[in-house]
Amino acid sequence: MGSSSSSFPPRNIYLDVDGKVQKQVVFSRHCNPGDIKELLCSSSNLPNAPIKVINPEGAMISIDATMPTNSPREDMFQSVLSHVAEQFTAFRINELKTEVNNRLAALEKRVEVEGLKVVEIEKCKNDLRKLRDEVTSTSGSINCSCKYNFSDDGKKVTPRRDVPTYPKYTLSQETIDALKKPTFDVWHWEHNEMLSCLEFMYHDLGLVKEFNMNPITLKRWLLAIQENYRNNPFHNFRHCFCVSQMMYGMIHLCNLQLQGKLTLTDLGILMTAAVCHDLDHPGYNNYQINARTELAVRYNDISPLENHHCAVAFQILSLPECNIFANVDPEAFKKIRQAIITLILATDMARHGEILDGFKQNLDNFDFNNEEHVTCLKKLLIKCCDISNEVRPTEVAEPWVDCLLEEYFMQSDREKSEGLPVAPFMDRDKVTKPTAQIGFIKFVLIPMFETVMKLFPQIEEIMVQPLRDSRDHYEELKQLEDSMSQ
């Protein structure tokens, strides 16, 4: 019985009469009781006697099947059939249970293995990211060590279509108040907390409403921004947050959000330029031009890093799931894009004198309704925020000096190994912390902030005076170093 194509082998029943196996009946395990009965009847040319049936597992089943002379043979086989069916049914259920358990165990093992694979894959991804950054910092090649190669048209930024999952922090009123001040301590915050603070700033300034931003898109954009800052000692995501928080603080301190000063579009341009201003910074500065890197060649030695930051910023914004300006009129977006590019390019320190002088020319008759005047102001504001660490308390500012010197020394060591010119302020054999800071504070920071102070006198106490105190602090350290060396 049964098809030969069945995946289950046939089963045997043996009839034992008076201790002798008389007949072997072969049947499929899928036979129904009627089939078994028919098989037994067809092979029943046996005398009346006690019958034993050996079930498929080889166990002997005793059946008192001695028929009285007046009982029909059919009754005897009906009795045999009921006993066989009972034993066979139990056998099949047990076998099926074993098979199901085995399959479940195999599935559980597979799920466990696949889960471990996912963990291992994520670990490998993290290891690869770390390795890439290590190669970036140690590579001797003159090619630009940037994450993106723009030689093809494909997008290199990974799309984020999922709902961002970084925890939503509820900021206390104390934190909200502190965010508006230059004294804010940026070292006490994890990346997720900084993302939440940036998200709050966009909502608090009314930018989400002004540009009709999708709040989920804002989250995705901020995550993409964070992921595209490298783990450099100085030019990293914490520096991005530091500059953005200082911009947010200056907007409040100078009352730029008040009617009659800057528009909400201007504030959005300032904040977005601050967030994006150092995207994918490789950790080297004027090295690009001296080493004739890919970036320097592409941008004709004109602000190669700053142009690269702009390119990465708008590559992220070109992704629909990260485009916070998706609901802005196309013509308006063109102006916003150009304004953001202008501000990011203004962070090139090679243009410091040009930008400061341009603002000074408009200072005596500054007009907030004059677009050129406002553009000069915005360029100077982002410059102030970009190099504003010394405005903060000493315990917040001084660790940034250590981070910057570490990055400078990495660059100068590489330049020495490649026979390139080394800037004295980056040479570990020539510079100290006091000597690095005194000149920068005296001749760059204080003159620039004092110029802004002429338009916004309220910044003197909270921003300019801390710079003067920092200058005095490092001059005292310098005197101490000189006396020790003598």
Question: What angle do the packed helices 433-440 and 465-485 form, to 10 degrees?
Answer: 140
Kindly report the backbone phi and psi dihedral angles of residue 25, in degrees, each rounded to the nearest multiple of 5, phi listed first: -110, 125
In 10 A of CB 305, how many CB atoms? 27
Beta-strand relationship, 51-54 and 60-63: antiparallel
203 is annotated as contributing to ligand binding: no
Write out the DSSP string of 179-216: HTSTT--GGG--HHHHHHHHHHHHHHTTHHHHTT--HH
437 is annotated as contributing to ligand binding: yes
Alpha carbon distances (Å) from 167 to 164, 174, 238, 344, 434? 9, 20, 18, 30, 40
In 10 A of CB 32, how many CB atoms? 11
| Secondary structure class of 456 (helix, strand, coil) | coil
- What residues pair up with 54 in beta bridges, in sequence order? 14, 60
- What residues pair up with 60 in beta bridges, in sequence order? 54
The DSSP 8-state label assigned to residue 159 in this structure reads: P
Question: What angle do the packed helices 371-386 and 352-363 form, to 10 degrees?
Answer: 130
Mind spelling out the 3-state secondary structure of 262-279?
A: CCHHHHHHHHHHHHHCCC
Radius of gyration of the chain (CA): 40
386 is annotated as contributing to ligand binding: yes
- Single out the catalytic residue among 188, 191, 235, 473: 235
In 10 A of CB 120, how many CB atoms? 10
* Distance, CA of 375 to CA of 377 (rounded, Å): 5
Q: Which amino acid is at 323?
A: N
| Secondary structure class of 223 (helix, strand, coil) | helix
277 is annotated as contributing to ligand binding: yes
Instruction: Give yes or no for a contact between 304 and 347, defined as CB atoms under 8 angstroms apart.
Output: no
Active-site annotation holds for 203: no
83 is annotated as contributing to ligand binding: no
What is the greatest pairwise CA distance in the chain? 134
237 is annotated as contributing to ligand binding: yes
Which two tokens mark 459?
Answer: 């910044």
Write out the DSSP string of 35-84: HHHHHHHHT----S--EEEE-TTS-EEEE--PPPTTS-HHHHHHHHHHHH
First to last CA, the chain: 109
| Secondary structure class of 152 (helix, strand, coil) | coil
352 is annotated as contributing to ligand binding: no
Indicate the annotated binding residues: 235-239, 277-278, 386, 437
Indicate the annotated binding residues for AMP: 235-239, 278, 386, 437
Indicate the annotated binding residues for Zn(2+): 239, 277-278, 386
> Which sequence positions are flagged as catalytic?
235
